[in-house]
């Protein structure tokens, strides 16, 4: 009952709030048709693509695809908590606030969980003072005592129920311990045991400096995993957190670029070198939430990732996400022989890290330099592969002038004819004759890349109009739906929750899918009905098969040969492609076997 009252209170505040008036305090809006338009506050743009719909009480940017309710806007723009935003707007609308103690069980739960986490931190700090192994480990990593205190590093002793007993003395029930993420259920029998044992414990705070969870680093060499984080809880959502952000914000506000590193101890090492602008993700890839959060503070970020394959792949994904949010990306390269900021400071000293940061390079320049250093770049095949790898990265750069600059760099460093390179990238398009005696000379104009809605967006837009087709899509594309994180979204669409109160539904979605849903809600394409939905099923199946084929080709190139098992896999894939193109398989069979459809797909160009 109390939860329903809280939801009703939030809905009443949203209905009473003029979204145009609130957003108009931050964005100059001009009415055009039924909506209001202005320059998006979440990314840089010259032509207004930010739209506010007063009827649906939603905002949406067609440039960076950020959208939501008035609450979402203020949470993202101001960095406030959801509850704080609702209370502020309730006061403006003359709606009495809800009693936190009685009418908001969510607030009560969060307060209780914070208390459990604070007592857990006390426990770790007490045992840190008593553990010689803990002190020896931090001495080995040369972490100064001032940093140990700043980051409140603690120790989880090698006990099964030490924390359980400590929290029990504070009146915490086992269920509450589990909800806070500090214990796990016994595999056999009843009861709970400590989540962490014999680990250095690193408290994790949200951007407002509130304790939300922990990360534990094993001390024993054979203990796995090496790092063990809190599980997802009501407070700990790793896709919406950056380690060290509550300290870094002060540096960002002074104009320092955010520095993204890979791990907890990398952040600590950066602080030891005076680089307090450093943050790290929590064992996950950089998300759209991270990108939008960083974009509020600076137009550029520096990335300092490990030089191994995993680090390079993570940096490439982060570049695409940050660029889409309008953020320029630089790369920091460490001296040879050191793999991360922690090792750099420990082995070479703080000056070496600071010098490396000053020598940052634009990400695409860094990638061009990498390609130029590849021994295979002297061969035609090596050049072609390097160019193909570069294309998707180049396309996410929004500025045509910057794009042309990178093409010039690539042409020079890879020794490729600039005209041929430009044609390969599709920037020379419209061919027309000139006047005069040279009229037969060709004049080409640059093509500016445009955003095309993804298959996920267009298919979801169709399903919002035809929810009865959701079971068909879920049956044919189950694996793809899981990869996209859309299973819950499609269930909501099928059951009508998406259309009963669209604004509230969007608010309750996970941040990782909210952008896709907002794009689908605002998609203006034609309605091709069931036939188009089936076309998209075929197109997505085809796209997945192409991805598998391209990964296989890359594997062949990387391994430098054709081992028997690889050759067999190539033959299987070639057969699948041949059969699929002949049109002998139904869409359902394509999805189950990994084949793809042979028919043409309307309105799909990506």
Burial 590-600 (b: 16+ CB within 10 A, else e): bbeebbbbeee
Q: Print the domain residue range for 342.
A: 240-359
Mention every residue, 6+ apart, whose C-beta is less than 8 A from residue 107.
83, 100
- How distant is the alpha carbon of residue 335 from its chain centre? 29
- How distant is the alpha carbon of residue 234 from its chain centre? 19
Is 131 a domain residue?
Answer: yes
- The reported pLDDT for the residue numbered 437 is 40
- The reported pLDDT for the residue numbered 491 is 87
Residues 66 and 110 grouped into a single domain: no
Check which CATH number belongs to the domain holding 118 and give it.
3.90.980.10
> What pTM did the predictor assign?
0.60
Between the alpha carbon of residue 229 and those of residues 99, 112, 175, 218, the distances in Å are: 34, 20, 19, 11
- The reported pLDDT for the residue numbered 584 is 45
Is 424 a domain residue?
Answer: yes
Residues 161 and 291 grouped into a single domain: no
Sign of CA dihedral 78, 82, 87, 89: positive
The alpha-helical segments, DSSP class H, found in 31-161 are 70-78, 82-93, 105-128, 132-140, 145-150
Q: Per-block average pLDDT, block size 10, for the chain (606 residues)?
A: 75 92 91 90 84 91 86 80 86 79 67 96 97 96 94 97 97 97 92 97 92 96 94 92 91 89 96 96 90 88 92 93 91 94 95 97 96 92 92 86 90 90 69 37 36 70 90 87 82 85 77 78 76 83 75 62 62 62 45 34 35
- The reported pLDDT for the residue numbered 1 is 54
| End position of a domain, from candidates 446, 475, 499 | 446
- The reported pLDDT for the residue numbered 507 is 73
- For residue 469, give both structure tokens: 């087709």
- The reported pLDDT for the residue numbered 189 is 82
DSSP reduced 3-state for 568: helix
CB atoms within 10 A of CB 106: 14
Residues 564 and 461 grouped into a single domain: yes
Residues 588 and 495 grouped into a single domain: yes
Residues 464 and 574 grouped into a single domain: yes
Residues 469 and 582 grouped into a single domain: yes
Is 601 a domain residue?
Answer: no
- The reported pLDDT for the residue numbered 432 is 35
| End position of a domain, from candidates 186, 209, 235 | 235
Residues 388 and 479 grouped into a single domain: no
Residues 211 and 247 grouped into a single domain: no
**Count of domains for the chain:** 5
Is 366 a domain residue?
Answer: no
Residues 569 and 488 grouped into a single domain: yes
Residues 13 and 88 grouped into a single domain: yes
Is 182 a domain residue?
Answer: yes
Residues 528 and 463 grouped into a single domain: yes
Euclidean distance between CA atoms 49 and 37, whole angstroms? 7
Residues 464 and 409 grouped into a single domain: no
């Amino acid at each position: 009952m109390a939860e329903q009252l809280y939801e009703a209170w939030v809905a009443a505040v949203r209905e009473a709030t003029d979204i145009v008036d609130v957003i108009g305090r931050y964005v100059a809006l001009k009415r055009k048709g039924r909506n209001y338009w202005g320059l998006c506050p979440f990314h840089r743009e010259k032509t207004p693509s930010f739209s506010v719909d007063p009827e649906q009480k939603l905002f949406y940017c067609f440039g960076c695809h950020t959208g939501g309710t008035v609450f979402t806007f203020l949470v993202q723009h101001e960095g406030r908590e959801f509850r704080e935003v609702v209370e502020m707007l309730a006061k403006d609308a003359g709606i009495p606030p809800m009693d936190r103690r009685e009418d908001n069980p969510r607030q009560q739960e969060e307060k209780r969980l914070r208390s459990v986490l604070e007592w857990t931190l006390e426990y770790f700090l007490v045992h840190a003072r008593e553990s010689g192994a803990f002190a020896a480990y931090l001495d080995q990593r040369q972490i100064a005592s001032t940093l140990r205190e700043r980051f409140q590093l603690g120790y989880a002793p090698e006990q099964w129920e030490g924390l359980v007993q400590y929290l029990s003395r504070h009146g915490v029930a086992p269920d509450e311990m589990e909800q806070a993420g500090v214990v796990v259920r016994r595999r056999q029998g009843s009861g709970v045991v400590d989540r962490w044992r014999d680990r250095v414990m690193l408290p994790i705070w949200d951007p407002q400096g509130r304790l939300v969870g922990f990360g534990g680093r094993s001390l024993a060499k054979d203990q796995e995993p090496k790092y063990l984080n809190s599980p997802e809880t009501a407070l700990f959502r790793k896709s919406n957190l950056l380690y060290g952000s509550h300290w870094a914000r002060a540096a960002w506000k002074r104009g320092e670029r955010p520095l993204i590193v890979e791990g907890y101890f990398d952040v600590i090492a950066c602080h030891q070198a005076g680089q307090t602008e450093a943050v790290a993700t929590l064992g996950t890839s950089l998300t759209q939430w991270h990108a939008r959060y960083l974009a509020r503070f600076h137009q550029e970020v520096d990335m300092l990732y490990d030089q191994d394959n995993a680090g390079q792949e993570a940096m490439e994904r982060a570049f695409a996400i940050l660029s889409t949010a309008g953020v320029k990306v630089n790369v920091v390269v460490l001296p040879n022989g050191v793999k991360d900021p922690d090792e750099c400071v420990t082995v070479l000293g703080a000056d070496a890290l600071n010098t490396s940061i000053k020598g940052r390079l634009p990400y695409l320049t860094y990638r061009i330099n990498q390609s130029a250093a590849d021994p295979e770049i002297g061969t035609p095949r090596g050049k072609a592969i390097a160019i193909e790898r570069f294309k998707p990265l180049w396309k996410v750069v929004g500025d045509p002038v910057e794009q042309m600059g990178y093409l010039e760099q690539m042409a020079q460093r890879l020794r490729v004819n600039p005209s041929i390179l430009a044609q390969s990238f599709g920037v020379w398009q419209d061919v027309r004759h000139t006047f005069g005696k040279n009229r037969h000379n060709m004049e080409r104009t640059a093509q500016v890349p445009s955003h095309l809605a993804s298959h996920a967006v267009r298919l979801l837009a169709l399903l919002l109009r035809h929810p009865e087709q959701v079971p068909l899509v879920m049956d044919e594309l189950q694996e793809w739906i899981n990869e996209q994180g859309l299973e819950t979204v499609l269930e909501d669409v099928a059951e009508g929750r998406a259309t009963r109160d669209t604004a509230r539904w969007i608010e309750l979605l996970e941040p990782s899918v909210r952008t896709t849903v907002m794009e689908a809600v605002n998609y203006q394409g034609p309605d091709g009905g069931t036939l188009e939905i089936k076309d998209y099923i075929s197109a997505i199946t085809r796209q997945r098969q192409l991805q598998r084929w391209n990964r296989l080709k890359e594997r062949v190139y990387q391994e430098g040969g054709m081992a028997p098992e690889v050759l067999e896999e190539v033959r299987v894939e070639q057969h699948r492609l041949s059969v699929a193109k002949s049109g002998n398989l139904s869409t359902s069979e394509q999805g189950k076997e990994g084949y793809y459809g042979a028919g043409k797909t309307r309105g799909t160009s990506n």
